[in-house]
Amino acid sequence: MLRLLLACPLLLTALAARAQTLPVPATLLLRPAAVFDGQNLHPGWAVLVEGSKIKAVGPAAQLTAPAGVQTLELPGLTLLPGLIEGHSHLLLHPYNETPWNDQVLLESAALRVARATVHARQTLDAGFTTARDLGSEGAGYADVGLRQAIDQNLIPGPRLLVATRALVATGSYGPKLSADVAVPQGAQEADGVDGIIRAVREQIGQGADLIKVYADYRWGPNEPSRPTFTQDELNLIVRTANSAGRPVVAHASTPEGMRRATLAGVETIEHGDGGTLEVFRLMKQRGVALCPTVAAGDAISRYRGWKPGQPLPERLQQKRLSMQAALKSGVALVVGGDVGVFSHGDNARELELLVQDYGLPPLTVLRAATSGNARLLHLADRGTLAPGLLADLIAVTQDPTQDITTLRQVKLVMKGGVLYKQP
């Protein structure tokens, strides 16, 4: 991506202008109506930020601030950790705008990167200061360049964990056109011992923070999903990645695909649409978390004509059943919506649906999207408001522990002590 940016001086100048942030003093005291610290709500608390870190958190009357410290009053607002997006694709845009096949085959790398820079800003403005981006979907290693551009303050965006190309078994992914035409694929094909080891190492060498594998998929049009990699192949993927300090996550929607991925030692299962109580209990036993991405199925159903209030299509009926089983099993939940299937900046949609359609309490979902995601994704420096952690903070209207829709009203965004939005 950086090569693309450097080749386009006007684009670089425009992006740098958008990356400008609001001036912030070295030490800042934020005084909201209440603070949600990642676990509980505390009325009357304040947060002291020094540089890029949180210096102190607690009752406003008890905080010791340096003489002359600048104070930012946030009346009526709740301050909380920056939200963590568990499943996104910054290099995709909604399928009702452009079908996935056309994005992969017809959109240039430059166009996709330009879109992604806008998506990154939209994600940050929505209060998501960290995002796990699970596959560039045919855009190669552009997500690595996007992460670098954000880290170097060339463009505004969330802190990124990127999976680069993702791994698929040969013949199992897409796009698929004619049997006579070989077209670029949306992920990297790999099979067998030598092929898998090479592909995993190549992605890590190019900058992958984690490895994503498709444990099942549709082998052909209008087919149901079926397992792709063998158990031995999945075991090898995990072993190779883990030896390089990278976790593995698995796209899996069938009980057998989920079972194989769980036994292989992946850290999270993405989607899990056909999951059963038995397989969710196995995941819990093995310490594997579920990222249910309920918003993706909701969005695709709407694109196909379904509207809320109408009878649920089969896809959403199955999702309701699988989520009931998941919640009954007690498996840990990563909150992530598969953003890119629907609009970036609409990330709160996943949290709202978990509350409104799947019956989770707002407090449970809020904890999961902050301290819970941080714990499950090994992000010990964020997700909670405590001294020494990153000053990744947002402020929203009213009380999100009671009304999850207040997360739509983001009035302040701070990342690493830098203000990107304020009242």
Q: Is residue 1 part of a domain?
A: no
101 and 242: one domain? yes
Give the bridge partners for 248, in sequence order: 211
390 and 284: one domain? no
Which pLDDT belongs to residue 23? 63
Give the bridge partners for 214, in sequence order: 251
Which pLDDT belongs to residue 66? 87
Confirm whether pTM is higher than 0.85. yes
| DSSP letter, residue 333 | B
324 and 296: one domain? yes
CA angle 331, 378, 19 (to 5 degrees): 120
250 and 321: one domain? yes
Q: Is residue 397 part of a domain?
A: yes
Q: Which two tokens stand for residue 279?
A: 């397989």
Which pLDDT belongs to residue 179? 78
Give the number of other Cβ atoms within 10 Å of residue 62's Cβ. 10
Number of domains in the chain: 2
Q: Is residue 13 part of a domain?
A: no
Q: Is residue 169 part of a domain?
A: yes
In CATH, what number is assigned to the domain containing residue 55?
2.30.40.10
Which pLDDT belongs to residue 177? 84
| DSSP letter, residue 225 | P
63 and 95: one domain? no
Give the residue from 227, 350, 215, 373 showing the smallest Cα distance to 289: 373
365 and 415: one domain? no
Q: Is residue 3 part of a domain?
A: no
112 and 211: one domain? yes
- CB of 255 within 8 A of CB of 216? no
187 and 231: one domain? yes
106 and 241: one domain? yes
Q: Is residue 19 part of a domain?
A: no
Whether residue 313 is preceded by a cis peptide bond, meaning omega within 30 degrees of 0, is no
Helices (H), 153-276: 192-205, 231-243, 255-264
Which pLDDT belongs to residue 62? 92
- Taking only the tens of pLDDT, the chain with its 423 residues reads 434 433 443 343 344 444 456 666 689 999 999 999 999 999 999 999 999 999 999 999 999 888 889 999 999 999 999 999 999 999 999 999 999 999 999 999 999 999 999 999 999 999 999 999 999 999 999 999 999 999 999 999 999 999 999 999 999 999 988 778 889 899 999 999 999 999 999 999 999 999 999 999 999 888 999 999 999 999 999 999 999 999 999 999 999 999 999 999 999 999 999 999 999 999 999 999 999 999 999 999 999 999 999 999 999 999 999 999 999 999 999 999 999 999 999 999 999 999 999 999 999 999 999 999 999 999 999 999 999 999 999 999 999 999 999 999 999 999 999 999 999
61 and 88: one domain? no
In CATH, what number is assigned to the domain containing residue 252?
3.20.20.140
Q: Is residue 218 part of a domain?
A: yes
Euclidean distance between CA atoms 335 and 422, whole angstroms: 26
Grouping H, G, I as helix, E, B as strand and the rest as coil, residue 51 is coil
Which pLDDT belongs to residue 423? 92
95 and 74: one domain? no
- Amino acid letter for position 413: V
- Residue 407: give the domain boundaries: 27-81+384-421
- CB of 293 within 8 A of CB of 336? yes
90 and 133: one domain? yes
Q: Is residue 370 part of a domain?
A: yes
C-alpha distances in angstroms, 227 versus 102, 214, 286? Answer: 26, 9, 20
